[in-house]
Structures are given as structure tokens and as C-alpha cells.
Amino acid sequence: MDKLYFTGTVISGCGQYSELEFPDKTKIEGASGDWPQSLLRGSLNIRINEDGYPEEFSRLGYQNNIKMLDKIGFQPEFIIPGQLIKNNKLLPTPEYPNRGSLQVWRAVLTNKHSEEYIHCWVVRRFGSGLFRDIELVSDTCLRKKLKLENGNNVVVCMSGQWEKR
């Protein structure tokens, strides 16, 4: 399993993930065995620092931009088709047929102050407008578990597989 490390700060989100309804685990083809049966509503948002992108981004000539995850070939653990996500406003287009589908990567979130960590999931919908923020989901309240507040520094270790080129 390959890893990408991001450093950033905890921020308030805009509430979009609290409106989305994800299908139960049994309805997601290819879902990992440890993917939660149901998720806590909402996500924890991390604003990536200017110097907080993985060194692989610059080494491979990619911009320091979260949108790169849609195209750099760092394969997620699995993908939830957009049509299975209720209240999903990102709809497919003829030019972008996977728009709105949710990429899911395993992750470990670490509070840099306390060094406490928790396993969770990085999620990103294809075509999302977010370019500096990573969204994390879990069946546990990540803020409470790691005693996080807005402005706290964190590290997100994301696991995936580089596409063979």
C-alpha cells in the first residue's frame, strides 16, 4: 500500500457532507470489510498548508491542489457511485461521467500536538470544487476523539495504490 502525507489545520466545513446520505455498507460494491455500516453525519475538514502537500506531487509535476486526486492515479480503496448518494448535487455530465462519485481512501489522522491518532477515511467526490481541503469521515466523532478545535495542526496519512504507468 502506498502512502501520501498531508499536513494542515482543522477548519469548519460548509455543511455539505451533513446533507449527503450514503448507502449502507451492504449496498456498496467493493466496500472494504472495515468500512463502517453507517457513517457519522458530516465530515471533518482539513485545510492543507501551502507546504503541506506530499512530496510526490512536486516530484511528479502536479500542482499543490487537492483536485489532483481526481486525476493523478492514486487509486482509492473503493468508489461509491454518485447515484447511490442521496442529495448529491454533483451530477454526471457527458464529458465527466463519474462526476459526483465518491472516492474513498483509508487514512490515519494525527493530532500534531498530542500525537494521538485515529483510523478514518478520506473522501472526495469527482468534480468537487474543493482544492485546498481534505474531508474525513468515520463512524466516530473525530473532533471529540482527538480533542480537535479549529486551527489545530494535523497530519493526514492517506493510503492507496499508484496506478501502474
Q: Residue 33's Cα: distance from chain center in Å? A: 18
Least confident stretch, 46-55, 74-83, 102-111, 156-165 = 156-165
**Residue 146, pLDDT score:** 96
**Distance (Å) of CA 19 to CA 41, 131, 132, 163:** 8, 20, 21, 32
Q: How far apart are CA 163 and CA 165, in angstroms?
A: 6
For residue 10, the model assigns a pLDDT of 98
DSSP 70: G
Instruction: Name residue 153's beta-bridge partners.
Output: 9
pLDDT digits (tens, 9 = 90+) for 36-93: 988 887 789 999 999 999 999 998 899 999 999 988 889 999 999 999 999 999 999 9
Instruction: Indicate the class that CATH gives domain 2-31+40-162.
Output: mainly beta
Identify the bridge partners of residue 21 per DSSP, sorted by sequence position.
86
- The residue count for the chain: 165
pLDDT at 16 exceeding the cut of 80: no
Asked whether residue 15 carries a pLDDT value surpassing 60, the answer given is no
Q: With contact defined as beta carbons under 8 Å apart, do 48 and 136 qualify?
A: no
Closest CA to 46 of 123, 139, 99: 123
Tell me: pLDDT of 155 over 60.
yes
Q: How confident is the model at residue 14 (pLDDT cuts 50, 70, 90)?
A: low
* Residue of 110, 103, 112, 154 lying closest to 130 (CA atoms): 103
What average pLDDT does range 97-121 have in this prediction? 96
Contact 133, 125 (CB under 8 A): no
- The rounded distance, in Å, linking the Cα atoms of 128 and 82 is 12
Q: Is the pTM of this model over 0.85?
A: yes
Question: What residues does each domain of the chain span?
Answer: 2-31+40-162
pLDDT computed for residue 9 by the predictor = 98
* pLDDT interval class at 21 (50, 70, 90): confident
Quickly tell me which residue has 499543490 as its cell: 64
Q: What is the pLDDT of residue 17?
A: 63
| Three state DSSP letters for 101-114 | CEEEEEEEEEECCC
Distance CA 160, CA 75 (A): 5
